[in-house]
Structure 1
Amino acid sequence: MTDVTGWTINDWLSAYRNQTLTPREALTALRNQLNPHDPCWIAIASDDQLNTQITDIERRAAAGETMPLAGVPFVVKDNIDVAGFATTAACPAFSYTPHEDATAVALLRRAGAVVLAKTNLDQFATGLNGTRSPYGAVPNSFNPAYISGGSSSGSAVTVARGLVPFSLGTDTAGSGRVPAGFNNIIGLKPTKGRFSTKGVVPACRSLDCVSVFALTLDDAATVAGVLQQFDVNDAFSRAAKPATAFAATPRLGIPSITEWYGDSQAEAAWQQHLNDLHKLGAELVELDFTPMQTLARMLYERSFVAERDAATKDFFADHRDDVHPVVRSIIENAKGFTATDAWQDEYRRAQLAREIQQIITGVDALVVPTAPRLPTTEAVLADPVGVNSQLGLWTNFVNLADLSALSLPGAFRADGLPAGITLIADAWQDDALIAFGQQWLQQLQLPLGATQKAFVPATANSKIPAGFFRLAVVGAHLTGMPLNVQLQERHARFVETTHTANNYRLYALPDTVPPKPGLRRVSDAAEFSEGLIVELWDVPIEHIGSFVALIPAPLGIGTLTLRDGREVKGFICEGDALAGAKDITTLGGWRAYIQSLKK
């Protein structure tokens, strides 16, 4: 069979479209390659479980049903229900077999995706290290002497190894971010309530999020688009709100004081990350993270731990000895708090959350190391609670403060291990984080996960995802510009920054509010031979009509030729409107012109 290691969602769909593979042969062969003794797995799909799913998508395809993820494999953390698979939460005595999928799984299967396996985790999703499971510790995908991170250990490592293009995890205190950072993959921690948690074994139900791991941001965004649906059957589900764009020169808040717990390799990587952010044109603002760290400590040190006791109370009463000793000790800490403590802690949480949200209003996002250190498994086992607490330094506060977060790969450490960064912003800024994350990854061009598969820039992969319309923007709709919000409101996805061919001129149109440019094709090469800077965005087809309706004369949508020869739709201007307009072609783009006005 064709080697599918490191395939993205688009790779899988392309192979099916080109008829080089069929879902039945490809998924059966892939499932047969999975080693049941691999600690990533708690359960691998049986013949019947796999065949039932494949037969269903074959039937639906024959009926002409549209399935955007038809035949794409994924795996699911084993605290999320998949009908017909046992759910264990990494505790065999807790095991039960659900009759229906968790909402998140149901949405993905409705889109045609196929569950290959259930993955290992820190028991009851309690831990950030990936060692607290009777099914074995999941090793780091780069060096087995180091931890994988948790609690979503198996879900992260299987993606990093390229076995599947994406997986589902959960994130209460960092479980969807820390293992992403330790394995060089994407970890999308959505705004609380954006994805339904119905059918998820709760850790702290009011804080839990279903999270997404992927090799690429495009894949993470695609999965998020499927999962983002209000669920009336989930009391914590919320209707999504549009994101706002980063400023043209994004202001990013970084910790004024960082703690590395002796990991000099992690510290050096962070300094490289700061340099890389500067290269992207970001303004870095040092902030006092005392409110964040105070709130982070409350998650396990105060009465919030009682929510974990509430999630397991009935089981725990009869099965105390079946619970991992470290997990058991954490849950039993809840017994020391009263209802009065809980309310006092909630008042304190609300006050700290308000302080954090006020701090965030001064920046586009926070940027932090995903974790302050990457320890060995031996170090974690020697001090399981202490080291685990250190790992949550930059993650534990996020859900308590109702924030969105995105864990991204970053420059590798000198010892060859991954060192990621995490973007954090207010609730519902998920898409804005993804748009900036695309620029970050295009600059670094890191290999995908642990596969050594090369990063493929968008310029080398011009395939437009099904259901989207690719649009080139040149002026006020650029990232951070005043009208970019119109793209964000329509859940458009940033693709890349690129250039037009060299036979275009750019003009500043007079008397436009906000200021707008006019782009004109000419017969000969313009003075600026590199072409003019444009951004490509993928707009959902169902929203393109409402977007075009907002475009005022003399602007319109036409066909643009890019420097690499591709043709895309983009903004053009009526020729008559350019009389009296200022030719700004030599500046190379609209952003440079706006900067020149400020000077």
Structure 2
Amino acid sequence: MTDTAVARVCAAFRRLDELAGTEHARPEAWVTLRDRSRVLHDAESVDRRLARGERLPLAGMVIAVKNNIDVAGLPTTCGSRSRMVVPSRSATVVARVVESGAVVLGTTSMDQFATGVVGTRSAFGAVRSVSDPNRIAGGSSSGSAVVVAQGIVDAALSTDTAGSGRVPAALNGIVGIKPTRGLLPLTGVVPASPSFDVVGVLARDVGTAQRCAAVMCGPDADDPASRCWPENAPHGAPATPRVGVPTPGDLDGMDPGHRQAFADAVSSAAARGAELVTVDIAGLLAVGQMLYGSGIVAERSAAFGEEFATISDPDPAVLDVIERGRGISAVDYLRDMRAMREQAARAVRVFETIDALMLPTVGEHPTIADTAADPAEVNARMGRFTTFANLADLSAIAVPMGSCPNGSSFGVTFLAPAFHDAVVAEIAQRLSGRSVSRQWTPPLRNIIVFGAHRRGQPLHYQIADRGGEFAGIVRTAPEYSMLALDTEPMKPAVLHTGQAAIVGERWLLRPAALAAFVDDVEYPMTLGKVRLDNGEEVLGFVVEPRALHGEDITADGNWLVHLARKDRGRVEV
């Protein structure tokens, strides 16, 4: 963000004031709006931290939080007016975004206990779409999606078990990241279906959503299901991605306008460089039906059924889900869970031949009246292309991509296997016509090289063969000297004893690749911290003190310049 945190908070409140009393106002989207003075106080604190030199990747970002995610001091209602639990501690994901400089504006409405993808199952009222007050906003993260789409907040935290972030993203023309299960910890999140719950992010663009997701990633000791990025997780997409699209039969039941919009989106993806492959998704759709249509529904009853029985304003559709779950035996639950996992293992084989799967996020945009008339059926149709994702352990991102013939927004979802989050994010950006922003990727490690490992030099293969990514030319702080060592091949020795800035290259490696690279380092070289001219300290090549000998070439300041001067090979610097 370029604005100060205070300026951005003031802009958020101005936007709220502009919308108030107009046909575009959606007050039902909020559960709690924090007092203006308290929010400004938090923003002032962020600006002071920045002034002190703290690194705050979300500084100036204003966020909202779905009301099943604890925010210290604000009531967590889960869509029920009679459930007013005020936590003293924020959920881990909230604590992490706040520590990174984000400011919480308030909490948002949702389908009760995150059960539903329609946004009408709340005691605070049905949340209306930003584009049409007669139509649903989608759920269960309805309020979070609407306040993002209205331009009030920059991003909002959601949860997405069966499509609860992706569906409202599609219906309101915004981006919804549904990460791999466990990447974002669930400590402080009221469970809906614990085996499949995830925290997600809603934003108006992929880059903002990635930035927010990035700071929330990482294991949490209080969440045994939280997961680390594996060392071999991909951090980018192929230049020409193979993208699966469903067969025409898999799209049966979509309304004609949405079906035409998806056909247009597929054509657009092909024009933007995707290699399209028709695939059969019947197996994935069958997996999705098992969340509510098998013994797995018992997870809902186990997660919040007892508490739901104590609230005074239960939604009938949610109550029906809980009642069905209560009749499931432990034997039936375990049997169906195993059957689902076996079905999912077969279904995900579709990804053996494609980099990502492209689907319509939803197949229609129902009215609030239609949803009230048949809540179970409408909800089932709305989740058709989303429900299977967490059951099959996939990563996903929903993005706007065109519009329906009636002018309403249309969105598609890109899906890939677990921990391919960076892959689907990059593909989504490319194929929806947006510039690529790699802000949420598996962690890479920096290493600075000065001589034989640079591009075009004899040991560069040790980096290139391990998937190293070039990240630019760097210079050390002016406190180093450099010797030319008489080794084979020749190498420079960079010493932290001098007054010169030495030129090197920054490379990025995955942790496992870096560990293997370290094993190849031969005497007298070693790795240690190197201070750059911007004050950053990064792992780089240094030399063991007992091996100090050789010609002092500090004046050259650059190993390639030294080689050129010695006529050992003309290299472009």
In 2: Cα distance, 1:268 partner to 1:149 partner: 21
1:377 to 361, 365, 368: 368
In 1: Cα distance, 2:508 partner to 2:389 partner: 34
In 2: Cα distance, 1:484 partner to 1:140 partner: 48
Counterpart position of 2:118: 129
Tell me the CA shift for residue 317 of structure 1: 3.8
Task: Note closer, same or farther for the CA distance 1:379–1:578 as it changes in structure 2 (3 Å cut).
Answer: farther
Counterpart position of 1:184: 173
Deviations along 1:310-336, one digit per CA (max 9) or x if unpaired, are 1213313433x5311111111111122
Counterpart position of 1:590: none
1:42 to 14, 20, 31: 31
Tell me the CA shift for residue 349 of structure 1: 1.1
Counterpart position of 1:514: none
Are 2:244 and 1:253 aligned? yes
Matches within 5 A, 1:472-511: 486-487=468-469
Tell me the CA shift for residue 152 of structure 1: 0.4
Counterpart position of 1:327: 318
Counterpart position of 1:528: none
Counterpart position of 1:94: 83
2:2 to 14, 27, 32: 14
- On the 8 A contact 2:3/2:60 being kept in 1, the answer is no
Matches within 5 A, 1:313-392: 313-319=305-311, 321-392=312-383
- On the 8 A contact 1:243/1:485 being kept in 2, the answer is no
- On the 8 A contact 2:8/2:62 being kept in 1, the answer is no
Tell me the CA shift for residue 92 of structure 1: 1.6
1:435 to 426, 447, 468: 426
- On the 8 A contact 2:166/2:178 being kept in 1, the answer is yes
- On the 8 A contact 2:273/2:431 being kept in 1, the answer is no
Counterpart position of 2:262: 270
Query: Which has the higher Rg, Structure 1 or Structure 2?
Result: 2
Matches within 5 A, 1:285-300: 285-300=277-292
Amino acid at match of 2:132: N
Deviations along 1:80-139, one digit per CA (max 9) or x if unpaired, are 000011100011222200001101100010011100010011111111111111111111
Deviations along 1:327-379, one digit per CA (max 9) or x if unpaired, are 11111111221111111101111111111222211111111110121111121
Tell me the CA shift for residue 160 of structure 1: 1.0
Amino acid at match of 1:273: A
Tell me the CA shift for residue 32 of structure 1: 6.0
Work out the number of aligned pairs and report it.
461
In 1: Cα distance, 2:347 partner to 2:382 partner: 20
Bigger drift between 51-60 and 341-350 goes to: 51-60
Task: Note closer, same or farther for the CA distance 1:244–1:116 as it changes in structure 2 (3 Å cut).
Answer: closer
Counterpart position of 2:156: 167
| SS of alignment partner, residue 82 of structure 2 | helix
In 2: Cα distance, 1:265 partner to 1:108 partner: 39
- On the 8 A contact 1:181/1:408 being kept in 2, the answer is yes
Are 2:118 and 1:144 aligned? no
In 2: Cα distance, 1:96 partner to 1:153 partner: 21
1:72 to 61, 67, 71: 61
In 1: Cα distance, 2:259 partner to 2:18 partner: 38
- On the 8 A contact 1:245/1:485 being kept in 2, the answer is no
Percent identity at matched positions? 36
Amino acid at match of 1:206: S
Task: Note closer, same or farther for the CA distance 1:275–1:32 as it changes in structure 2 (3 Å cut).
Answer: closer
| SS of alignment partner, residue 94 of structure 1 | coil
Deviations along 1:235-259, one digit per CA (max 9) or x if unpaired, are 1100113226444332212221233
In 1: Cα distance, 2:508 partner to 2:242 partner: 30
| SS of alignment partner, residue 115 of structure 1 | strand
| SS of alignment partner, residue 81 of structure 1 | coil
Counterpart position of 1:306: 298
Task: Note closer, same or farther for the CA distance 1:25–1:374 as it changes in structure 2 (3 Å cut).
Answer: closer
Counterpart position of 2:391: 400
In 1: Cα distance, 2:234 partner to 2:129 partner: 34
- On the 8 A contact 2:2/2:60 being kept in 1, the answer is no
Task: Note closer, same or farther for the CA distance 1:249–1:179 as it changes in structure 2 (3 Å cut).
Answer: same
- On the 8 A contact 1:24/1:54 being kept in 2, the answer is yes
In 1: Cα distance, 2:92 partner to 2:381 partner: 33
Amino acid at match of 2:376: V
Bigger drift between 423-432 and 434-443 goes to: 434-443
Q: Which runs of 5+ in 1 are unaligned?
A: 1-12, 444-456, 460-466, 475-481, 493-542, 551-571, 580-599
- On the 8 A contact 1:244/1:485 being kept in 2, the answer is no
- On the 8 A contact 2:144/2:156 being kept in 1, the answer is yes
In 1: Cα distance, 2:465 partner to 2:415 partner: 23
TM-score by length of 1: 0.71
- On the 8 A contact 2:254/2:363 being kept in 1, the answer is no
- On the 8 A contact 2:426/2:436 being kept in 1, the answer is no
Deviations along 1:297-316, one digit per CA (max 9) or x if unpaired, are 11011111111111213313
Bigger drift between 129-138 and 432-441 goes to: 432-441
In 2: Cα distance, 1:134 partner to 1:268 partner: 36
Deviations along 1:51-106, one digit per CA (max 9) or x if unpaired, are 55235324433543222222321100000000011100011222200001101100
In 1: Cα distance, 2:12 partner to 2:239 partner: 44
Amino acid at match of 2:405: A
Tell me the CA shift for residue 281 of structure 1: 2.4
Tell me the CA shift for residue 44 of structure 1: 0.2
Are 2:191 and 1:202 aligned? yes
- On the 8 A contact 1:49/1:84 being kept in 2, the answer is no
Matches within 5 A, 1:234-245: 234-241=223-230, 242-243=233-234, 245=236
Amino acid at match of 2:207: D
Bigger drift between 283-292 and 119-128 goes to: 283-292
Counterpart position of 1:517: none
Deviations along 1:145-200, one digit per CA (max 9) or x if unpaired, are 21111100110111111111111100000001011111111100000001111111
Matches within 5 A, 1:573-588: none
1:423 to 399, 414, 439: 414
2:143 to 136, 143, 154: 154
Counterpart position of 2:497: none
Task: Note closer, same or farther for the CA distance 1:486–1:407 as it changes in structure 2 (3 Å cut).
Answer: farther
In 2: Cα distance, 1:433 partner to 1:262 partner: 24
In 2: Cα distance, 1:420 partner to 1:376 partner: 18
Task: Note closer, same or farther for the CA distance 1:251–1:24 as it changes in structure 2 (3 Å cut).
Answer: closer
- On the 8 A contact 2:71/2:94 being kept in 1, the answer is yes
Task: Note closer, same or farther for the CA distance 1:398–1:547 as it changes in structure 2 (3 Å cut).
Answer: closer
| SS of alignment partner, residue 401 of structure 2 | coil
Tell me the CA shift for residue 411 of structure 1: 1.1
Task: Note closer, same or farther for the CA distance 1:282–1:37 as it changes in structure 2 (3 Å cut).
Answer: closer
| SS of alignment partner, residue 93 of structure 1 | coil
- On the 8 A contact 1:80/1:200 being kept in 2, the answer is yes
- Cα RMSD after superposing both structures: 3.3
| SS of alignment partner, residue 296 of structure 1 | helix
- On the 8 A contact 2:28/2:143 being kept in 1, the answer is yes
| SS of alignment partner, residue 433 of structure 2 | helix
